[in-house]
Chain A
Amino acid sequence: MSKILIIAEHTNDTANASTAKCIQCATEIPNAEIDVAVFSDNGESVANEIAKMDGVTKVIRIEHDANSNPMAALIAPQVISISKGYTHIFGPSTTFGKDLMPRVAALMDVNQISDVMEILDSHKFKQPIYAGNAIVTVEAPTTVPVVATVRIASYRAVGSSGSAQIESAELDIDLPSHSRFIGIQAATSDRPDLQTAAKVVSGGRALGSEENFEIIYDLADSFGAGVGASRAAVDAGYVPNEMQVGQTGKIIAPDLYIAIGISGAIQHLTGIKDAGTIVAINKDAEAPIFEVADIGLVGDLFDVVPELKAALG
């Protein structure tokens, strides 16, 4: 039997969608018993939410003032303190999990598997490499725990008809004082979250300016879509970093992805390859984005986008 510990990602009030997707991934391991750890300063509502997620046996609450804003150097030793007996420790392949899980793995003196996209058996997995241009099947040693991050775009969220038990774990370790959280600058928006939105509109370098990017927001808002961007648009300062889609930004899998003025570098395409339908709007008929698009439209975005918005509205 496999005993799996999942490190929950959450906002202190609610679980991030990545948590339910990690659980889905873990349920695909044969004979899995799944526990979820919630590290927070007050994790009651998050623990209650996760206890309802299908497939979860137990939710473990680990409370500490230092967990109000998670820092890998502080969370990792806490993970170790509750890790005994688990055959697998999983976290999401988001910046939270990417930051934390390798630190956990190193403290356990094991290697880590990044971006698990398919479970073949308890110790055999598929992961993308080279920006998704190759998929490698890997086999982890059975003599040590498997530490992995889960490529959340590969999994659906589990349902919420479960009723797991919740228990609290006491910490008897000293946390380091060498790392301090100062603050976070996060744009607040009423738009659907880019990582979980069913529909996403993205803009690229061809928008030309921060002001011009407004037409992308307008179009997205007209049908309730999330908004993303190419690296070029972020580098040029049109939009903040958290909107970047691609190899080094967010990997997303919406039902509909509309790429506007994005040429389609391989680093961008790796972030959208699991999208249901990809629409490309670009002036350049030779742009590589058309090679992956399900529906392509060659045209000037400054003509097409307002027209599309009018047609949808």
Chain B
Amino acid sequence: MEKILVGLKRVVDYNVRVRVRPDNSGVETDGVKMSINPFDEIALEEALRIKERGQAQEIIVVSIGAPEAQQQLRTGLAMGADRAILVETAEAVSPLMTAKLFLALIQREKPGLVILGKQGIDHDNNQTGQMLSALWDRPQATFASKLEINGETARVTREVDAGLEVNEIDLPAVVTADLRLNEPRYVKLPDIMKAKNKPLDVITRDELVTAATADIQPVTYEAPTEREKGVMVEDVAGLVTALKDKGLL
């Protein structure tokens, strides 16, 4: 195939302990480390490997959001993507709107495959890939832990609750990456320098999609209820007694 489109979302780094703002208006993101959504990094790594096997010519990374998301796109270019597109918008973008924006880019770029992370670790929605394939009227293979491209089709192993499911899908299609699809490469310094000269186009949301969607509105944010402090026991006998006291044995 000629092109693979990969989504890179800018999210709070997975090592950050997220806190709700005191006024309940959202979670604290000021001064917090931001990174590529880990599942999206895996999606990009998979696209790069497909290209390295000679099964794709060009990898395009896409982000939607604030101008700062250019940092994540530059990291994607340093990992090995060929070019980047930032769909700039100051507003919150719902999964449905994200899918619509990707669809508009698909109509421009005509990729043979779109690989997204299975979920963003910020809102944990797990929706965009499924929505995009629905709007595109193409197959979806979510939670992928193995992906083989065989000409016009792909064979995808999916991590489902019951075990490992294998699907065969016609291309083009949308695949969403799960944790064990691969281990992303580290970016080397020369690659970061090289990435500075790779093309990064900025377009506005309105250039792609003008209609609004009926969005689900956040009302208030709260911290989860904390579990009460527990007890420490000295040995197995103490553990068994404690369990019996709670009526669990």
Tell whether, in the assembled complex, residue A102 and residue B127 are in contact, meaning their CB atoms are under 8 Å apart.
yes
Residues of A within 8 A of B149 (CB): none
> Does B90 count as interface, using CB distance less than 8 angstroms?
no
Q: Indicate if B107 sits at the interface (CB-CB under 8 A).
A: no
A119 contacts partner chain B, Cβ-Cβ < 8 Å: no
Chain A nearest CB, measured from B60 CB (Å): 22
Tell me the smallest distance from the CB of A106 to a CB of chain B, in Å: 4
CA of A280 to CA of B90, assembled, Å:
44
Contact among B122, B140, B167 with A182 in the assembled complex (CB-CB below 8 Å): B167
Whether, in the assembled complex, B20 has its beta carbon less than 8 Å from a beta carbon of chain A, the answer is yes
Grouping DSSP codes into helix (H, G, I), strand (E, B) and loop, the B interface class, with mixed when no group exceeds half, is mixed
**At the interface, yes or no: A171 with Cβ under 8 Å from chain B?**
no
Q: From known contacts A76-B134, A114-B124, A134-B222, infer whether A178 and B139 are also in contact, taking CB-CB under 8 Å.
A: yes
| Bound: A128/B173 CA distance, A | 30
C-alpha gap A130/B131 in the complex (Å): 21
Q: Does B237 contact A (CB under 8 A)?
A: yes
Contact A102 B224 (CB under 8 A): no
Please, how many angstroms separate the alpha-carbon atoms of A295 and B244 in the complex? 12
Chain B CB within 10 A, most for which of A133, A242, A255? A133
Cβ–Cβ contact B96 & A110, under 8 A: yes
- Complex formed: what's the CA distance from A114 to B180 in Å? 23
> Which residues in chain B, 6-42, are within 8 Å of chain A measured between CB atoms?
12, 14, 17-20, 27
Answer yes or no: A241 CB below 8 A from chain B CBs.
yes
Residue of A nearest to B139 (CB): A179
A112 touches B127 (CB 8 A): yes
* A19 is an interface residue with CB less than 8 A from chain B: no
Contact A297 B238 (CB under 8 A): yes
Is A247 an interface position by the 8 A CB rule? yes
The B-contacting residues of A in range 285-307, CB under 8 angstroms, are 290, 292-299, 304, 307
Interface residue count on the B side (C-beta < 8 Å): 84
Q: From DSSP, what is the main secondary structure of chain A's interface residues?
A: mixed
**Distance A141 CA – B96 CA, assembled complex (angstroms):** 14
Q: Does A132 contact B (CB under 8 A)?
A: yes
Interface residues on A, range: 35 or more
Note all chain B residues with C-beta closer than 8 A to A111. 94-96, 213-216
Tell which of B47-55, B78-86, B227-235 binds the partner: B227-235
A234 CA / B158 CA spacing, docked (Å): 15
Bound complex: CA A179 to CA B156 (Å) = 11
Q: Interface code B209-249, partner A: CB below 8 Å = 1, 0 otherwise?
A: 00001111111111110011011111111111011001011
Stretch of A26-34, A93-101, A156-164, A204-212 with 4 or more beta carbons under 8 angstroms from chain B: A93-101
B119 lies within 8 A of chain A by Cβ: yes
Q: Whole-angstrom distance between the alpha carbons of A141 and B236 in the complex?
A: 54
Q: Write the residues of chain B forming the contact surface with A, with a CB cutoff of 8 angstroms.
A: 12, 14, 17-20, 27, 94-96, 99, 118-119, 121-135, 137-143, 145, 155, 158-170, 173, 178-180, 213-224, 227-228, 230-240, 242-243, 246, 248-249
**4 closest A-B pairs (Cβ-Cβ)?**
A186-B163, A102-B130, A106-B131, A106-B134
- A to B CB contacts below 8 Å, 22 in the list: A101-B130, A103-B140, A106-B131, A111-B213, A130-B27, A133-B19, A134-B19, A134-B224, A137-B218, A138-B216, A180-B168, A186-B164, A231-B179, A235-B179, A242-B161, A279-B239, A290-B232, A292-B227, A292-B230, A296-B230, A297-B235, A311-B237
Other than the known A133-B223, A195-B161, A297-B239, what 17 A-B pairs have Cβ atoms closer than 8 Å?
A: A73-B133, A95-B142, A99-B140, A99-B160, A105-B131, A106-B131, A112-B96, A130-B121, A133-B17, A138-B218, A139-B216, A178-B170, A247-B124, A248-B179, A292-B227, A297-B236, A311-B237
